[in-house]
Structure 1
Amino acid sequence: MYEGGDRGASRSGAGNRAGSGTGNSARSGTGSGPADGAPRPHLSHRVPDLGALELLLAVARHGSLGAAAREAGITQPAASSRIRSMERQLGVALVDRSPRGSRLTDAGALVTDWARRIVEAAEAFDAGAQALRGRRDSRLRVAASMTIAEYLLPGWLIALRAERPDTAVSLQAGNSAAVAERLFAGDADVGFVEGLAVPDGLDGVVVAHDRLAIVAAPSHPWARRRAPLDPAELAATPLVLRERGSGTRQVLDAALAAHGGLARPLLELASTTAVKAAAVSGAGPAVLSELAITEELASRRLVAVPVEGVVLRRDLRAVWPTGHRPTGPARDLLSLTRDRPRER
């Protein structure tokens, strides 16, 4: 049942006033509408709402206003008021009421035929909209920067699977710049990035927090030092790093900009896993998310190197194109990420 409030009486004579001896401007073109540039009256002011039309159809089926009211789930006085409101809006009597029941007038029978077509079209519209929602809800395309894709999203997607077992999920991993590009191209429904701020053209919300750590293999001299690194020494040392455009690199570049900037990287690699493997092998010290090195620190395959005078903390964000907040499975995934406290 389509419910809707009474629209009230329509404007007297609206839509029926043609120019009377004032020229041909209102009759140009097809002659069926206002002159070019003139505002058209909204149909909502002239056409009864769906709830009222369905009520009229119920009166036609049952021959009783009381039975129509019961079908609509409203009281008989409310049904009578709605019919009277529609009669005032249309300017014609639709229903003759008598102790024996309610009978459509000739005008009411004609309006009922029109109403049936409108309601059938609305039902078809609703069925189509449901089909679109079903198609939307059948898949979820996620784009995420590497650390989030490898260490946070698996848990979130397992939780989503429990809530939406029929939704097929695809995950595209890349750096934060690549995530933004996929969202702009319409190739992802929601993204996750690790940079300092929300990229231009995107809206976002913080879903977790992370810190970057300086790590080295146990054989590296930094693993045995007692004093923390200072920012200038860190900046001047060639490191194993992620590529430009990654959230990790953005945070590190910003943190060390006031200390001479980063030295030329020892190695520049396109994934967290590759950076970690290079550091474990002894290629050189690296900068990695704390989320990525829990096992390596516990097993002493890597050693955390303390550093003073520089902040390497970052926010992890869910992002989407400005003005297009996630819906369906993407909205549910976003809710799952925010239901889990991430403060470290």
Structure 2
Amino acid sequence: MPDIGSLELLVAVVRTGSISGAARETGVTQQSASARLRAVERQLGLALFHRAPSGTRPTLEGEVVASWADDVLAAVGRFRAATRTLRGESTARLTIAASQTVSARLLPLWLVALRRRQVEAGRTPTAVQLLSGNSTDAEALVRDGHADLAFIESSEVPADLGTSTVDHDELVLVVAPERAWGQDGPVTFAEAADEALVAREQGSGTRRAWEDEVRRRLGRDAAEPAVVLPTSAAVRSAVAGGLGAAVMSRREAADDIRLGRLRAVRTTGEPVMRPITALWRGGARDLSAAGRELIEVAVATAREQAVPFVSPSARSGTGPAPSAGGRSAR
């Protein structure tokens, strides 16, 4: 099997779209990176990349292997955190359940910022265990006591848990670059709702937010998906291969749009936004100190990176502070 460093390199190439960019990110030379990637392809017996002067693009097999490598690297991170805890290097431990978009695009930034804050304050960093799934899975893990804190991207939040809105996320309609749909101007929201999409499984926050928004705006259900896939990486790969259109987090699709693997289709009406929400058992007083600090970091990071979003249906404001009694701060 490929070693951990090679898996980190593989994932970095898929994310950055180039071997040179991945080499800089992982601290190796471009020559070494190229050799390691070819060694991985020989080990697995798979062609993982299309190499061209304009960049390095993953094959369908490369997208799938990279998504599996993400799972392996997440497990490695949990192993490292756990062994640090056994050595007494951490006095606080936090088990976090997160949906795929949050765990891939947001949580790493939050954890880096949390660690920096704690080190600068002379405190031992919190040891974190990450459990990744869809929004429904993350909610269930908190409710069952298997996670201390969860972050979901669903348009609806449970009333029986403590909640805090930490950020907002935009959904975007994407297609393969060669598809003509929407190239002459925006498509109507109704047209987008009638499109049979490449979608995630039931329980995905992305799918639920899109379907809820269609019902809110049009008073009817969205079209049934053409294909249902279990990961965001698989959805991106299927759309890039011409299988159909998809609605995705703009954060999740950003790299593929920038590199020309996907094209964003403009739709009429206001952007489709959904909250990123923290969940925990009980009310505000039941939130652990480590959990409260991570929420504070998440809110601060959102403020630094984007203009605050105010929901069209709730212009009175969005409160980031944890709420008691299971009521969402929306």
TM range (shorter): 0.5 to 0.7
Residue 165 (structure 2) aligns with:
206
Residue 96 (structure 2) aligns with:
142
Residue 213 (structure 2) aligns with:
255
1:325 aligns with 2:286: yes
- Alignment partner of 2:180 out of 221, 239, 249: 221
1:280, CA displacement in angstroms? 1.5
- Could you say what secondary structure the match of 1:222 adopts? coil
1:213, CA displacement in angstroms? 0.2
Residue 306 (structure 1) aligns with:
266
- Alignment partner of 1:236 out of 177, 186, 194: 194
- Alignment partner of 2:226 out of 263, 266, 277: 266
- The alignment's TM-score, normalised by the length of structure 2, stands at 0.59
1:200, CA displacement in angstroms? 2.7
Closer, same or farther in 2 for the Cα pair 1:250/1:276, shift >3 Å?
Answer: same
Letter in 2 for 1:234: A
Closer, same or farther in 2 for the Cα pair 1:222/1:230, shift >3 Å?
Answer: same
Letter in 2 for 1:335: E
Larger Rg: 1
Runs of 5+ unmatched residues, structure 2: 1-87, 308-330
Closer, same or farther in 2 for the Cα pair 1:218/1:181, shift >3 Å?
Answer: same
Letter in 1 for 2:209: V
Q: Is the 8 A contact 1:195 1:316 kept in 2?
A: yes
Closer, same or farther in 2 for the Cα pair 1:259/1:302, shift >3 Å?
Answer: farther
- Report 1:1-344 matches (<5 A): 137-162=91-116, 163=118, 165-222=124-181, 225-257=183-215, 258=218, 260-309=220-269, 311-323=271-283, 325-340=286-301, 341=303, 342-344=305-307
Closer, same or farther in 2 for the Cα pair 1:269/1:321, shift >3 Å?
Answer: same
Residue 57 (structure 1) aligns with:
none
Residue 29 (structure 1) aligns with:
none
Letter in 2 for 1:191: A
- Could you say what secondary structure the match of 1:293 adopts? helix
Give per-residue Cα distances to partners, 1:68-106, cap 9 Å, x unaligned: xxxxxxxxxxxxxxxxxxxxxxxxxxxxxxxxxxxxxxx
- Could you say what secondary structure the match of 1:197 adopts? coil
Structure 1 residue ranges (4+ consecutive) displaced by more than 6 angstroms after TM superposition: none
Residue 19 (structure 2) aligns with:
none
1:166, CA displacement in angstroms? 4.5
1:137, CA displacement in angstroms? 4.2
Give per-residue Cα distances to partners, 1:149-170, cap 9 Å, x unaligned: 1100001111223326553211
Hey, what's the Cα distance between the residues in 2 that align with 1:305 and 1:150? 23
Q: Is the 8 A contact 1:255 1:311 kept in 2?
A: no
Closer, same or farther in 2 for the Cα pair 1:165/1:269, shift >3 Å?
Answer: farther
Hey, what's the Cα distance between the residues in 2 that align with 1:296 and 1:276? 8
Pairwise CA RMSD: 2.2
Q: Is the 8 A contact 1:232 1:260 kept in 2?
A: no
Closer, same or farther in 2 for the Cα pair 1:171/1:230, shift >3 Å?
Answer: same
Give per-residue Cα distances to partners, 1:90-130, cap 9 Å, x unaligned: xxxxxxxxxxxxxxxxxxxxxxxxxxxxxxxxxxxxxxxxx
Report percent identity of matched pairs: 35
Give per-residue Cα distances to partners, 1:188-218, cap 9 Å, x unaligned: 1111011113213112111111110000111
Letter in 2 for 1:334: I
Q: Is the 8 A contact 2:174 2:263 kept in 1?
A: yes
Q: Is the 8 A contact 1:145 1:176 kept in 2?
A: yes
Runs of 5+ unmatched residues, structure 1: 1-133
Q: Is the 8 A contact 2:90 2:127 kept in 1?
A: no
